[in-house]
Amino acid sequence: MIVGRFGETGELFFDIELIAANDDCFAVEALLDTGFTTGWLAINSQDIDALEWSLISSEIEMKTARGEELFDIYEGKVIIDRQEFTIPVHVGEGLPDILIGSQWLDSMELIVKKRKGILILEVLENEFNMI
């Protein structure tokens, strides 16, 4: 279980770790973006050099809140709720935050009790499926 925090305008933030190709871990804060329905994680292209993840596909067009954008897809490793996952990662220009996509919610439980300040994300046992 990971405990998140609410942003100034109600955003949902969680601490996750990105694992570089050399196994260095980087703790980062990620925004749960329920509008990001076709992916697991999105990061800014300036961050990819430090991670040295492998490129899977180039210039995939996606519809975003800002309109049509091009993303490269990398194979990345993350730690969420003390578990390591290898996932496709969308890498694009000008992303102000690291984004967790809503696909995680197919295998994770999100508990939000905003009035009480409770925000929890937890992997459900035996229910994780990235396909």
- Residue 65's pLDDT is what? 66
Residue 31 lies in a domain: yes
Residue 26 lies in a domain: yes
Q: Can you tell me the distance from the alpha carbon of 61 to that of 20, in angstroms, rounded to the nearest whole number? A: 25
For residue 46, the enclosing domain spans 2-101
Count up the domains in the chain and report the number.
1
Residue 38 lies in a domain: yes
Residue 124 lies in a domain: no
Identity of the amino acid at 67: G
User: Mean pLDDT for each 10-residue chunk of the chain (131 residues)?
Assistant: 92 96 95 90 91 91 75 94 92 91 90 93 69 42
CATH code: domain of residue 53: 2.40.70.10
Residue 107 lies in a domain: no
Q: Can you tell me the distance from the alpha carbon of 73 to that of 55, in angstroms, rounded to the nearest whole number? A: 6
- Residue 94's pLDDT is what? 84
Q: Are 11 and 112 in contact (CB under 8 A)?
A: no
Q: Can you tell me the distance from the alpha carbon of 126 to that of 48, in angstroms, rounded to the nearest whole number? A: 31
- Residue 12's pLDDT is what? 95
Cβ neighbours, 10 Å, residue 104: 23
Q: Can you tell me the distance from the alpha carbon of 23 to that of 5, in angstroms, rounded to the nearest whole number? A: 27
